[in-house]
């Protein structure tokens, strides 16, 4: 073939293909522009405008007295649309100087000249979403709404602000782990996580447009769907007792250089958790709430489990309090293992009740061995019937699983029964142990621990959390009565005599457990650590509160429950007793008042009392110094007056006062007072010593 023709043929072929490809492109372009134009324009619009969520304000969490435990603080991001159609050059130029001066005055970060240069440049560049300031507080935003240009709104003044909510705890570390958190991408913790749906609210919607730089800008307010704020939680936590509990725990942890500890206070009849504190030492030696040990740490309880062991034997009719047991020389042997008492030399032959009071390992284990060695499953079944093998099912995530070994378990050995009887080879959390002891205080009725009392939509109660009964009777009334006697005996005559209180009776049990090392199974070596605990209730003759304290790994050679955990229990109990009017006996009328010439005097304002007594020519012994408010003591021949301390911003104890004086005091503190009955103030609905909340209601019951 002619080479020239061959080359031309190839050129024509390429030219034809290129033309064909060009025609195809042109055809497609015409099709997209005119035939499919509406479709693609709609798709492009959908890609650049989108509805975004507007975060709802998360509900607050309150203490029992209305104090804020957690709240959402609104934080704003302020931007400006400098290319809005309604903002003319004349309008902008007339106001830009004043706006720059106002911005400089409120934020004090840049000079007015610098703000002006930035605004002019943003206007020139056609910036529709110019950043003015992040993290603007609500009071600053309120002030900015009156600035030049901004006061004209979004459309004419270009003023744009976006709200974000920042979660804060006003009391910071107080009950931090129990309050918890609910963050994206992290396992929810505490009440924030448990009630996340109720607290979260319903997000709103805002139509936004994607502009240069990938930034999303709100289009206009008319397209917005407002969010619905979350509901509020009202917990059972008493902020004053919580503070005392955390301080008492911290103090003891520091004294004994312990690794961690916890304390929980529960109301006996309702199961309401009034205080819960968990502290752990960090690498720097400081203590913080890193983990909720009270809820989540399931460990061998040690001697506090002895109550359940003896109650099982008593309930099965195998032993009674007056029966005797020989503790020998403080040691006894089960197969190849020796059981020892902490008291060297033993206690000899003593009653079952005394064995419990002195916490004799030998005595308790021998009682259980003699009762159940032929049928250990019977012992296990009795413990199961007292619900010790079941989780409490509390709303807070992370509850540790109880472990009560079954006789059919492959890990059951010949020494399991005696060691189990004194609190080893079983596992329970502090809250589970407390719930069991609380049932004993509550005459056998076991109630579920309750953290939240109400859920409210602002002021309206939308759900009231009732007390949930786990078991109406964990055992017979007779067994409960004997268990209560044993617990009272521990404080009166046993290992917890240092916890005796002059004003009220305490019942409880000390516990000192060796912490097992996983490398040694249940055999403990010289590298052992200890867990000290005390659990009980008060007043013992009419239980109102139960409490458990657990201190883990004290490291200064003091590890007994009565010395390490006991002082924390006592400090909390003393505070509760001193501030809880309902625990105390009602004021008794003065029996001699009508039989003597000296009239009965009420507590109240000193000058009024002085005037009345002077007019009646009644003898007065004034020991009140400069105090304006006094307490009166009426005797057969005279009236004594002593100072009554009134603290600013703290609710006073007005029991025993004349109603007019009580109302005067409380209303001057900003409270709303409601009166029921006639006569002298007998009780008040808000606990004395609580922080004053302006506008808070308080009911006074008169005698």
Domain boundary among 210, 231, 252: 231
What was the pLDDT predicted at 29? 74
Quote the number of domains for the chain. Answer: 3
- One domain, residues 171 and 245: no
Give the rounded distance of the alpha carbon of 424 from its chain centre. 30
Is the pLDDT at 210 greater than 90, yes or no?
no
Q: Which two tokens stand for residue 285?
A: 């030696």
Pair 450, 271: CB distance under 8 Å: yes
- pLDDT tens across 291-324, in order? 999 999 999 999 999 999 999 999 999 999 999 9
Pair 479, 315: CB distance under 8 Å: yes
Q: Whose structure tokens read 């520091």?
A: 254
- One domain, residues 319 and 443: yes
- One domain, residues 280 and 168: no
Is the model more confident about 24 or about 83? 83
Q: Rounded to whole angstroms, how far apart are CA atoms 161 and 211?
A: 17
Is the model more confident about 454 or about 610? 454
* CATH code of the domain covering residue 559: 3.40.710.10
- One domain, residues 388 and 468: yes
- One domain, residues 565 and 603: no
Is the pLDDT at 591 greater than 70, yes or no?
no
Is the pLDDT at 516 greater than 90, yes or no?
no
- pLDDT tens across 415-470, in order? 999 999 999 999 999 999 999 999 999 999 999 999 999 999 977 899 999 999 99
Q: What is the mean pLDDT of the chain?
A: 85
E strand spans, 172-282: 204-211, 215-218, 232-235, 260-267, 273-281
Q: For 516-532, what is the mean pLDDT?
A: 55
pLDDT band at 188 (very low <50, low <70, confident <90, very high): confident
What was the pLDDT predicted at 592? 41
The CA–CA distances, whole Å, from 362 to 185, 347, 373, 418, 552 equal 51, 10, 15, 9, 24
Query: Peptide bond before 639: cis, by omega within 30 degrees of 0?
Result: no
pLDDT band at 638 (very low <50, low <70, confident <90, very high): confident
Q: Which two tokens stand for residue 337?
A: 């293992």
- One domain, residues 265 and 164: no
What was the pLDDT predicted at 181? 87
E strand spans, 475-586: 507-515, 529-538, 545-552
What was the pLDDT predicted at 518? 43
The CA–CA distances, whole Å, from 290 to 177, 511, 557 equal 7, 24, 25
Domain boundary among 207, 231, 255: 231
Which of 112-116, 242-246, 628-632 comes out lowest in average pLDDT? 628-632
Contacts of 667 (CB under 8 A, 6+ apart): 673
What was the pLDDT predicted at 590? 47
Contacts of 101 (CB under 8 A, 6+ apart): 112
Q: Rounded to whole angstroms, how far apart are CA atoms 457 and 434?
A: 32
H or E segment and range at residue 301: none
Beta carbons within 10 angstroms of residue 593's beta carbon: 13
- pLDDT tens across 245-269, in order? 999 999 999 999 999 999 999 999 9
Beta carbons within 10 angstroms of residue 410's beta carbon: 6
pLDDT band at 40 (very low <50, low <70, confident <90, very high): low
- One domain, residues 199 and 256: no
Q: Rounded to whole angstroms, how far apart are CA atoms 552 and 300?
A: 12
Is the pLDDT at 527 greater than 60, yes or no?
no
For 235, phi then psi, to 5°, come to -85, 175
H or E segment and range at residue 135: strand 130-136
Q: For 381-393, what is the mean pLDDT?
A: 97
Give the rounded distance of the alpha carbon of 286 from its chain centre. 21
- pLDDT tens across 460-512, in order? 899 999 999 999 999 999 999 999 999 999 999 999 999 988 789 999 999 98
What was the pLDDT predicted at 547? 97
What was the pLDDT predicted at 138? 86
- pLDDT tens across 346-370, in order? 899 999 999 999 999 999 999 999 9
* CATH code of the domain covering residue 630: 3.30.10.20
Is the pLDDT at 522 greater than 60, yes or no?
no
Domain boundary among 583, 610, 642: 583
Which of 225-234, 460-469, 601-610 comes out lowest in average pLDDT? 601-610
Q: For 4-31, what is the mean pLDDT?
A: 74
pLDDT band at 45 (very low <50, low <70, confident <90, very high): low
- One domain, residues 624 and 564: no
Give the rounded distance of the alpha carbon of 503 from its chain centre. 29
**Residue 211 sits in which domain range?**
52-231
Domain presence at residue 28: no
Domain presence at residue 33: no
Is the model more confident about 160 or about 10? 160
Q: Is the pTM of this model over 0.85?
A: no
What was the pLDDT predicted at 517? 44
- One domain, residues 61 and 95: yes
- One domain, residues 578 and 690: no
Pair 330, 341: CB distance under 8 Å: yes
Q: Which 8-state DSSP code applies to residue 222?
A: G
- One domain, residues 602 and 573: no
- One domain, residues 106 and 245: no
């Amino acid at each position: 073939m002619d080479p020239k023709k061959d080359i031309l043929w190839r050129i024509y072929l390429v030219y034809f293909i290129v033309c064909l490809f060009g025609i195809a492109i042109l055809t497609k372009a015409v099709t997209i522009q005119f035939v499919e134009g509406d479709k693609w324009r709609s798709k492009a619009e959908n890609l650049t405008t989108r509805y975004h969520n507007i975060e709802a304000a998360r509900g607050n969490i309150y203490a029992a007295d209305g104090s804020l435990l957690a709240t959402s603080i609104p934080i704003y991001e302020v931007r400006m649309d400098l290319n809005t159609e309604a903002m003319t050059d004349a309008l902008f130029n007339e106001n830009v100087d004043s706006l720059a001066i106002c911005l400089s005055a409120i934020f004090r970060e840049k000079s007015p000249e610098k703000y002006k240069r930035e605004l002019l440049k943003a206007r020139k560049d056609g910036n529709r979403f110019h950043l003015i300031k992040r993290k603007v507080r609500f009071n600053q935003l309120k002030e900015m709404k009156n600035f030049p240009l901004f006061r004209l709104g979004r459309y004419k003044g270009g003023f744009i602000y976006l709200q974000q909510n920042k979660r804060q705890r006003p009391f910071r570390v107080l009950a931090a782990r129990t309050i918890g958190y609910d963050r994206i991408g992290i396992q929810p913790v505490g009440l924030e996580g448990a009630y996340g749906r109720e607290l979260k609210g319903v997000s709103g919607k805002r139509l936004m447009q994607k502009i240069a730089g990938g930034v999303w800008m709100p289009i206009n307010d008319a397209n917005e769907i407002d969010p619905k704020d979350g509901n509020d939680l009202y917990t059972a936590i008493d902020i004053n007792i919580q503070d005392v509990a955390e301080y008492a725990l911290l103090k003891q942890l520091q004294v004994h250089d312990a690794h961690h500890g916890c304390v929980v206070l529960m109301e006996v009849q309702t199961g309401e958790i009034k205080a819960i504190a968990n502290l752990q030492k960090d690498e720097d030696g400081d203590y913080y709430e890193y983990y909720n040990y009270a809820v989540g740490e399931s460990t061998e309880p040690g001697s506090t489990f002895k109550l359940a062991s003896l109650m099982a034997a008593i309930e099965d009719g195998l032993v009674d309090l007056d029966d005797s047991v020989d503790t020998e020389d403080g040691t006894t042997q089960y197969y190849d293992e020796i059981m020892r008492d902490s008291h060297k030399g033993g206690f000899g032959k003593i009653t079952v009740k005394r064995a419990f009071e002195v916490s004799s390992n030998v005595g308790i284990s021998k009682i259980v061995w003699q009762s159940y060695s032929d049928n250990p499953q019977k012992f296990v079944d009795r413990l199961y019937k007292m619900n010790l093998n079941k989780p409490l099912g509390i709303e807070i995530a992370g509850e540790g699983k109880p472990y009560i070994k079954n006789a059919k378990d492959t890990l059951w050995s010949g020494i399991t029964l005696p060691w189990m009887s004194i609190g080893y080879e079983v596992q329970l959390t502090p809250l589970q142990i407390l719930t069991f002891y609380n049932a004993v205080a509550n005459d056998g009725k076991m109630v579920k621990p309750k953290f939240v009392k109400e859920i409210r939509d602002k002021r309206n109660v939308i759900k009231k959390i009732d007390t949930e009964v786990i078991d109406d009777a964990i055992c017979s009334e007779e067994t409960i009565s004997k268990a209560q006697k044993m617990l009272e005996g521990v404080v009166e005559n046993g290992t917890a005599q240092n916890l005796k209180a002059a004003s009220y009776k305490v019942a409880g049990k000390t516990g000192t457990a060796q912490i097992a090392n996983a490398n040694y199974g249940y055999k403990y070596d010289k590298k052992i650590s200890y867990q000290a605990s005390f659990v009980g209730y008060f007043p013992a003759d009419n239980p109102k509160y139960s409490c458990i304290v657990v201190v883990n790994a004290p490291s200064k050679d003091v590890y007994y429950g009565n010395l390490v955990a006991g002082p924390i229990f006592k400090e909390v109990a003393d505070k509760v007793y001193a501030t809880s009017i309902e625990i105390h006996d009602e004021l008794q009328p003065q029996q001699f008042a009508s039989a003597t010439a000296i009239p009965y005097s009420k507590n109240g304002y000193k000058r009024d009392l002085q005037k009345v007594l002077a007019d009646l020519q009644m003898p007065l012994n004034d020991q009140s110094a400069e105090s304006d408010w006094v307490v009166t003591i009426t005797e057969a021949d005279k009236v004594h007056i002593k100072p009554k301390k009134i603290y600013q911003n703290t609710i006073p104890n007005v029991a025993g006062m004349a109603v007019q004086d009580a109302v005067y005091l409380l209303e001057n503190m900003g409270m709303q007072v409601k009166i029921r009955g006639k006569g002298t103030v007998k009780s008040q609905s808000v606990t004395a010593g609580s922080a004053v909340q302006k506008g808070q209601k308080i009911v006074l019951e008169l005698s």
